[in-house]
Amino acid sequence: MTATEMSGSRGRRRSFDVDEAVETAMRLFHARGYDAVGVAELGAELGIKPPSFYAAFGSKAGLFERALHRYAAGEANIFARAQAEGGGVAEVIGRTLLLAARLYPRRNGVAGCLVLDGARNSADPEAAALAEAMRKAGAAAIRDFIATREPERAAALADFVMITMRGMSAAARDGADEAALTAFAEMAGRAFRRELAAEG
């Protein structure tokens, strides 16, 4: 989608591709975190001046929200991808963790999960709330799926999965590679399977 924004009081117009802008912002936020990326830098990277930036996105947090949704709509939605392949609860959760092990290692200067880590410890409450809302939505989807088999323990088991994924994301940002994360994911998957089989 191409947007044409006004960038001057005399009607000078500047055109830019909004989808491309969101993709660029997503990469910057993912690589460095929300707080480390300023509006001036975003404008320079996107090739637009602040008036056009604010006209298009409303605020830096507004752009971050769009970047989060774009990220979650792609391959980063590992639970949806795992679920789409079918199988029972233990199989799908194990597959989810293995997909995280493939997705999170550093590639092209980017590591971890944007949703889990992009606004970690952010000084901007709006950005932190946006990321938290998406994390909660993801946790709710996992909880509801687990509840099809273990309704009484679904919340605790979903917490296990989410905490595991957050730890894997943080480890990837600290340099853990795919082999190390895969080994951990396999262990976590076995632990989940044992807990799922245990009587509540």
Q: Which two tokens stand for residue 37?
A: 């990326």
Parent domain of 193: 75-197
Measured torsion, CA atoms of residues 51, 53, 55, 56, in degrees rounded to the nearest 10: 160
Could you tell me the pTM of the whole model? Answer: 0.86
- Single out the residue in 70, 88, 114 at which a domain terminates: 70
d(C-alpha 121, C-alpha 114), whole Å: 13
| CATH number assigned to the domain comprising residue 116 | 1.10.357.10
pLDDT higher than threshold 90 for residue 14: no
Claim to verify: residue 54 and residue 146 sit in the same structural domain: no
| Structure-token pair, residue 117 | 């880590």
DSSP label of 150: -
**Nearest Cα to Cα of residue 74 among 99, 48, 39:** 99
Summarised one tens digit per residue, pLDDT across range 56-98 is: 999 999 999 999 999 999 899 999 999 999 999 999 999 999 9
pLDDT at 147: 97
Same domain, 59 and 152: no
- Is the four-CA dihedral 58, 59, 60, 66 of positive or negative sign? negative
**CB neighbour class for 101 (10 Å; exposed up to 12, middle 13-18, buried from 19):** buried
